[in-house]
Amino acid sequence: MDYSLSEEQLALQDSFRKFCENEIKPNAELLDQSDYETGFKILRENMKKLAEFGYSGLFHEEKYGGTARDMITQSVAQEELAKVCASTYLSIGASVGLCGIPIALFGTDEQKDKYLPKLISTEMVGAFGLTEPNAGSDAISISTTAEKKGDKWILNGTKMFITNGPIADIVVVMAKTDKDGQKGRNVSSFIVEKGTKGFSAGKPLDKMGYRGSPTSELIFDDCEIPSENLLGVENEGFIQAMQTLEYGRIGMAMVTLGISMACMEESIKYAKERHQFGKPIGRFQMTGFKLADMKTLTDVSRLLIYKAGWLKDNNDPSAATMASIAKLTASEASTQISSWAVQIHGGYGYIKEYLVERLYRDAKLGDIGEGTSEIQRVLIARDVLQKY
């Protein structure tokens, strides 16, 4: 077993870290604080720059404009972006990942040719619509329907909390196609383009964190799409969504690790600078122990994320559970670490001028998005009860 990164991975880490520091970080605070219109411009500009650097291509095949890197190389880059701007990370991830990956895995050649190059270049923004107002954790119970009429599908229903909802040019959406069918075998995935009659997005939701990444409802009201927009095999949409979420969970684990790393770096800096009782606060054992736990938890999270990625690259069947383990560990670590980071900063940590205030707000999504911590535990428990 070799824990070292290759020369190529180290070179990417170094150059992408500089790129993120110079091009993305300077606008991250403004993106978080902006109104929707200004935020949208900054986010689109960030996405374009990331595409030009080659970040969005890391996740897709060369014939569509990507570079198809292994998941550990992807993770090395993802951590750098997550550290400087979680909102940009989430939006570009929802576009090339949650939307692009199911197209890459299950799409026809025509669908891949039509959409993947534009998602990778960020000319198009993508979204993924599974959650509904009454079906979040219980995603198998969605009620959006798609009915076949001649050579068209007619979609009706509402999706909730959709990342990039207000700005998406295309959305991969799950809908029930067999109302009497067995749960999990009665849903299909569809590609819906912006501008399609009967398809609209709600107002951007006013969120606690990730304020630079727009989220909204998506509404389908007798929305008519051509039959060729069915993604993959009819009635396999739920299975496709779960396979996509394996990647999504590793991605969510990575953004929470990036947030934790930023918290740790800010806390170490502050613990050396801030003096109370005549000495730097880092010299108080209770501060030092928090820094020690931050280092321990971030290292553990990274090892689990790399392991989940490695298993996925090797088509190992245990990858799904390892993705849940990595996501659960990294996200709960991040919620704790961001809280410690605010604590170490004292009253200043509660003020927007200090970065840890935003990191604390952003961290919490990790326990909720891509399946809550409770659902990760349900999945891990189911797996161990079967295996051991």
Please give the angle made by the CA atoms of 291, 297 and 302, to the nearest 5 degrees. Answer: 125
With CB atoms as reference, the residue minimizing the distance to ligand FAD is 136
State how far the Cα of 16 lies from the Cα of 64, in Å rounded to an integer: 22
How many CB atoms lie under 10 A from the CB of residue 135?
A: 18
What are 191's strand-pairing partners? Answer: 172
State how far the Cα of 345 lies from the Cα of 280, in Å rounded to an integer: 12
Given the complex with ligand FAD, which of 63 and 377 has the nearer CB atom?
377
Map residue 225 onto helix, strand or coil.
Answer: strand
* Residues binding ligand FAD (CB under 6 A): 94, 98, 128-131, 136-137, 161-163, 207, 210, 215, 365, 368-372, 374-375, 378
Given the complex with ligand FAD, which of 50 and 125 has the nearer CB atom?
125
Cβ neighbours of residue 51 under 8 Å, at least 6 residues apart? 57, 120, 121, 122
CB of 208 to ligand FAD, least distance (A): 9
Map residue 180 onto helix, strand or coil.
Answer: coil
CB of 77 to ligand FAD, least distance (A): 21
State how far the Cα of 335 lies from the Cα of 103, in Å rounded to an integer: 32
CB of 158 to ligand FAD, least distance (A): 12
Side-chain-side CA neighbours of residue 271 (13 Å): 22
Cβ pair 298, 257 in contact under 8 A = yes
Map residue 2 onto helix, strand or coil.
Answer: coil
Active site residue 45: no
CB of 174 to ligand FAD, least distance (A): 8
Map residue 205 onto helix, strand or coil.
Answer: coil
State how far the Cα of 157 lies from the Cα of 226, in Å rounded to an integer: 18
Given the complex with ligand FAD, which of 54 and 204 has the nearer CB atom?
204
Cβ pair 267, 336 in contact under 8 A = no
Given the complex with ligand FAD, which of 247 and 306 has the nearer CB atom?
247
Given the complex with ligand FAD, which of 231 and 271 has the nearer CB atom?
231
Given the complex with ligand FAD, which of 315 and 386 has the nearer CB atom?
386
Given the complex with ligand FAD, which of 305 and 328 has the nearer CB atom?
328
CB of 365 to ligand FAD, least distance (A): 5
Cβ pair 221, 198 in contact under 8 A = yes
Map residue 208 onto helix, strand or coil.
Answer: coil
Instruction: Considering the candidates 37, 266, 370, 374, report the single residue annotated as catalytic.
Output: 370
Q: Which residue has the tokens 């299909």?
A: 188
State how far the Cα of 19 lies from the Cα of 105, in Å rounded to an integer: 30
CB of 290 to ligand FAD, least distance (A): 26
State how far the Cα of 74 lies from the Cα of 52, in Å rounded to an integer: 16
CB of 162 to ligand FAD, least distance (A): 5
User: Residue 40, by phi and psi: left (phi above 0), alpha (psi -120 to 50) or beta?
Assistant: alpha
State how far the Cα of 339 lies from the Cα of 335, in Å rounded to an integer: 6
Residues recognised as catalytic: 370
